[in-house]
Structure 1
Amino acid sequence: MSTWPDNRIQNLFGIELPILLAPMAGSGSSEMAIAVAEAGGLGSLPCALLTAEQIRHEFTRIRQHTSRPINLNFFCHKPPQVDVNRESGWKKRLEPYYYEFGIDPQAPTPISNRAPFDAALCDLVAELKPEVVSFHFGLPDKNLLARVKATGAKILSSATSVDEARWLEQEGCDAIIAQGAEAGGHRGIFLSQDISTQAGTMALVPQVVDAVKVPIIAAGGIADARGIVAAFALGASAVQIGTAYLFCPESTVSPVHRAALRGAKDNTTALTNLFTGRPARSIINRLVREIGPMSNSAPEFPLAGGALVPLRAKTEPFGSGDFMSLWSGQAAALGRELPARELTKRFAEEALTRFAR
């Protein structure tokens, strides 16, 4: 076999390879999106940590270097309800660390924010007209979603269960990302908050494939050709890869994070809510070992991160990742330090070779 066993995603998005760059907020870059797109995959720009003007600037830069399809990704969580008592309790829990590093616990807590998709961002999508728009934590309200679809963009979102996949299909998604528990970064979970029941990619993908009619994109623990071939065997039409791209020079991860990725193993990550208030897979560090990984004290997403800002500022310059998120999937040990364009082409070539056996 010299071709892909399923071409639905290529046909849907107008791309050559069924390989999607995971939109990793804080780690992805326009350079990486360009590289993956030029290699034939779907480049993605994570927008959750960017202002509207920054999104416009990055997207314009992408368009200056490629005319191939691009995905803009947004979070669509509900804005948090500020709970003064909970935030105070969280800061009290961190107080011993503040004293250890000479930080005044009475100083104002920095704001940690991730903007959910709203009317202003919808206006921006209508202006920029990306070929694909993806969402994390469900979908925006029906009016906003209808406006996005009216631009001609294809709609993607992540499901962590069959129930979520069925809901996304009913609401109009053109394809669904089945996000297994192995995936790095934030869980796309939105119909439940119980991570104890989350399925891995091997179990999740075929059940989602059987439950819906739209094409399924497998995500979580896929970092080489073996994972890609396995995803197709499970019924997926494409794969979304994140952690493996963090090793690329186009990744914007910090030196501390990059060093942690190089030393990661299959058993060195955990799902934790300590860094943002929502479950996300991170490499285990001091904070996760001593407090977590899950804490009921952590404020609602994304407010939990604010109280950690002073601790990170004190420790990261000395090469410590003890108080920072170190997002990573469970297959980081399979990472290769290659440019993103070359890595994408290698994924495709090696997978097609395996399909041909």
Structure 2
Amino acid sequence: MNQPSDVISDAALAPYNSFSLQARARYLYLLREPAQLTELFRWIYANDLPWLVLGSGSNVLLLEDFAGVVIINQLAGITLSETKSDYYLDVAAGEDWPSLVEWSVQQGILGLENLALIPGTVGAAPVQNIGAYGVELADVCQQVEFFSIAEQQQQCLSPAQCEFAYRDSIFKHALKDKALITRVKFRLTKQWQAKLNYGGLRELGEGASAQQIFQQVIGMRQQKLPDPKVLGNAGSFFKNPVLNQQQLQQLMVKVPAIPVYPASAGSSKVAAGWLIDRLGLKGFQHGGAGVHQQQALVLVNHGQATAADILSVCRHIRHQVWQNFALVLEPEVRFIGAHGEVNPDTVLGRPDASQ
């Protein structure tokens, strides 16, 4: 089968990953219409090529050049409908997430404000079940539409079928490499209630408006998180550890002041950034990579970092946290090798491997 005319060969990926790493793709494809997908995947599979979808490339670490097709999701469009009780947003997967949140707050369509300024596209949000300041994508998602690679057609999943969990979903497991998200539908109640359970939002008080929450979240994120256009980064690099009660009690004997947040099924989350900061690792550097001076959870490219530099910083942090707190930090960022996503432990090793 002939190569589609709009496939670009030997393309630089620095503009398409927020770490600004100098990787390349054998092929690059700009996806603008769902109708393009059938022809594209017939060609991909006829030539046995690996493939990868990137939106803004804000949650990936490109370990090396990609040996197949990198699909840049540029699907666009937002449709709004409503009932007496709810607003419904039908949003194409290539739309910019921060812009969607800002637009919804301006329109008085409330419920996304706690998720302001999370980098990435709408299509990436369900994969990661993005979350911040007490709200997750799962709380507002009504449906996820995707192109099934095997069936060569559009299919839909309910939130329950998406198997959302902490920074996790079915798209990382049963549907990994089998689905390309094309649209996400949101249900936002008109009986809005402020979510103020996280530090920095409580100070707004119970009468806080969605606009005030939106502005507060923007301010907090801008204060802590560097602009990837200025300093390459992928946002929060590590997940917050989720602990059972016994693990939490053991940790709090060592560090009673650690911030603790409720998680599902009686478990608790503790702040990974706080642990890294307590170890004095803000500003730690190796090669061109380092830990951000203002936010210990963020690894940055100081200009000429390689993937190996970032991995070295990551290994050092994981080793120090394990040695001091007996916790293994799991990367939130997806590691991408030449043929697709790889298990971070395969690349990094585990600090607790000798236990």
TM-score by length of 2: 0.25
TM-score by length of 1: 0.24
Structure 1 or 2, whichever has the larger Rg, is 2
Name the structure where helix makes up a greater proportion of residues: 1
- Ranked by relative contact order (alpha carbons within 8 Å, sequence separation 6 or more), the top structure is 1
